[in-house]
Structure 1
């Protein structure tokens, strides 16, 4: 209760204080307020006076505007009246002159238009002809260009279609190649598959060199030794009975891991492992010493690497690898070098075949030469027999002409026989056998030694002397004919003497 009373007293005191303060302030501000009221009254009086002046000015301006509008309307009406009068006067004055001038102008214009039209038509015809002479070649050229463009566009479309088809085929082949490569890589991770693949590649290279299985080479030939059974992948037969052992080795995993890695350090590490694998294959082949088991054979073995990239990658890390293998009697060969080696072997086979054929040709030549000598002996004796027979025939003809035909012709002269039955004139044989000039034929006739043709010396074959003894085979018929002719020739003088 006391607190509430206290609060009321305090609040009442504050209200009283506020009223007292406001009253004091109002008393202080009263003069200023009165002055403001006076100033406001003065301003209000001025504003009312200005408004009255403005209103009076507006009324005067409105009156002036109305007057100006009336005067302007009057002036406009007068101007329009004057304009109408002037127009009427002008039309009245210019009508006749305009009609005459228009008629004359139209006549002149029509005449000039006709002349212009005629000249224009001629000029137009000339221009059309000139333009046509210029345009026709251009039109033809444009048509040709258009045809060529259409043809080029057609060819481009066809070429683009073919290119798209080719690219599609390339994409398909690339996809198949990638799939095949992936399958091959997966398969080559197996050691047995790698070995079979290497043997297959080796056989393809050998067959591409033109060599025949079981003739020029044998596969998986097996030999037994004290250390066990040796079975190289291939034995190539050389000329002269020699053989070269070829074994396929595929060092693949290190190379594959190096190619698949993007880390240079890991790549070098796997390439070093690839080199170690190659050296291990070299050491294994060197330890087997195949040349001792397949005699006669050169003292080395060929290690076939089925891909060029395998060897080149190893040589990049170890350039001395080939020398390392050669020191151990191992020759590393890729498909390219293996093909060259096999072509060399094939050349050696051809040379040996040529040598064997040369020996056969020599022996056949000797036999043929001997037979030719025998035959030429017979020919020579036949020629001499013909010569003897010709001489005997000529002697007989001479004797017949001298001793027999003379008496026979006298019988014709004495009309003992008819002239139609007269004996024809006989002629001797003037041709004689060709004389023998070649030493071989003379030797065949006389018996002697004849050398084989010197061309064999140029071929590198030893010249052998072939002793040919001509066989004295008597041609009985020729000798009998010669003896008969000789006996008849000897008898003819006796007939002459008897006549």
Structure 2
């Protein structure tokens, strides 16, 4: 029984379970159906969404394409406008820059043009200068060759004492010419004179100064040892010959001192100028003999080279020029004094001429008064007659109211009442009359011829 009940319970439980299961299955089927329906709806929605997405994607692609096309067109237009503006701006900037650059470069161009012109001129001058330099170089070379020839010939000539003396005379003549003094006027060369004891002397040059003052110049120089000193290559040998040259010059000074050229000349200072034709020779002599200058001064001999002699002669030329100016000034003063005296003498005739002019004016005024009071009234009455109506009227006669200016005798330094001045005036008038008479006679003679 129990088993039955158990069985019944199992059956009932199975039925209940089956019923429950059926309900759950039904619910599941419904859920599945609902899920399938939802799935179909979701699929449809998904499909719709996919289609919508595809459409949106296509629209997006189209929009993007349109936007790209629009952007490209806009970009091209903007770029074109920008480029146009940029080009215009750049062109304007370039024009402004060119204008400013031209303004800035204008002076530079002018300077460049001037520089080019100057460069061309410099190049031309350079070529001319180069040509001139070449010409001068050729001339210098020719002169050098000629100098070498002259030096060689001079060395040959200076081997003899007479020729050495001649060289000194030539150098002296050159210095005299450079001094500005006039030959045979301001100085004489190779003048022969007699010494104090009657011996014959011939100084090389005598310079003439104002007041009959003269300066004697001797141009003889012992050249032999100095020439050997120049030709020496050894310093000790050169020194030896320089000392010998100084000794020769000292001996020459001694000889000049015995000649006493100034004693044969009036107003000549008691010294003789010894001209050494070379400053180098004189300097070498002073270096070799330190007491040579003192010795020559004590012997009343002045040792000079070309430079010192030229300075001395320039001083002499200045003295002569100032003396000439002073002489001219004295002549001008004498002429001015004579002119003043003549002007003073002329004052008398001028005073007489003024008095004569005033007398003539007075006579003229009296004649005018007489004519106006006696003749003109009658002449005017005659003109008023019928037969003289065509006659021209008589002009009014005017008196002369001005008179000759009175001579201011004190200004002329003359006394018009001085008999001597009157006599001198009469002499001047007589001389003028005689000159006029001579001219008339000459004129008559010329007409007679």
Q: TM-score range by the shorter chain?
A: 0.5 to 0.7
* Structure 1 counterpart of 2:334, from 363, 367, 371: 363
Structure 1 residue 434 corresponds to structure 2 residue 412: no
Structure 1 residue 405 corresponds to structure 2 residue 379: no
Q: Give distance in 1, aligned partners of 2:388 and 2:132.
A: 106
Structure 1 residue 314 corresponds to structure 2 residue 296: no
Deviations 1:45-67 (A, max 9, x none): xxxxxxxxxxxxxxxxxxxxxxx
* Structure 1 counterpart of 2:357, from 370, 386, 390: 386
Change (3 A) 1:213 1:267: same
Change (3 A) 1:245 1:389: same
* Structure 2 counterpart of 1:186, from 142, 156, 175: 156
* Structure 2 counterpart of 1:233, from 188, 204, 207: 204
Deviations 1:121-153 (A, max 9, x none): xxxxxxxxxxxxxxxxxxxxxxx9xxx999999
Structure 1 residue 339 corresponds to structure 2 residue 310: yes
Shift of 1:434: 2.5
| Equivalent in the alignment of 2:271 | 300
Shift of 1:234: 2.0
Change (3 A) 1:362 1:157: closer
Structure 1 residue 206 corresponds to structure 2 residue 176: yes
| Equivalent in the alignment of 2:102 | none
| Equivalent in the alignment of 2:438 | none
Shift of 1:269: 1.5
| Equivalent in the alignment of 2:391 | 420
- Say if 2:256 and 2:272, in contact at 8 Å, map to a contact too: yes
Deviations 1:313-367 (A, max 9, x none): 1122334432321222111122222222223333333333334333433333333
| Equivalent in the alignment of 2:244 | 273
Change (3 A) 1:446 1:320: farther
Q: Give distance in 2, aligned partners of 1:425 and 1:374.
A: 42
Shift of 1:386: 0.9
Matched residues, number: 325
- Say if 2:348 and 2:422, in contact at 8 Å, map to a contact too: no
Q: Give distance in 1, aligned partners of 2:332 and 2:417.
A: 27
Q: Give distance in 2, aligned partners of 1:396 and 1:168.
A: 95
Runs (5+) with no aligned partner, structure 1: 1-143, 449-466, 477-499
Q: CA RMSD in A?
A: 4.4
Shift of 1:295: 2.5
Runs (5+) with no aligned partner, structure 2: 1-112, 431-449
Structure 1 residue 197 corresponds to structure 2 residue 142: no
Q: TM-score, normalized by length of structure 2?
A: 0.60
Structure 1 residue 215 corresponds to structure 2 residue 185: yes
* Structure 1 counterpart of 2:213, from 238, 242, 245: 242
3-state DSSP class of the match of 2:233? coil
- Say if 1:374 and 1:444, in contact at 8 Å, map to a contact too: no
Shift of 1:445: 3.0
Q: Give distance in 1, aligned partners of 2:179 and 2:210.
A: 16
Q: Give distance in 1, aligned partners of 2:249 and 2:285.
A: 8
Structure 1 residue 284 corresponds to structure 2 residue 217: no
Change (3 A) 1:165 1:341: closer
Q: Give distance in 1, aligned partners of 2:119 and 2:423.
A: 90
Q: Give distance in 2, aligned partners of 1:161 and 1:312.
A: 40
Q: Give distance in 2, aligned partners of 1:402 and 1:162.
A: 96
| Equivalent in the alignment of 1:375 | 346
* Structure 2 counterpart of 1:175, from 120, 145, 151: 145
Q: Give distance in 2, aligned partners of 1:350 and 1:163.
A: 40
Q: TM-score, normalized by length of structure 1?
A: 0.54
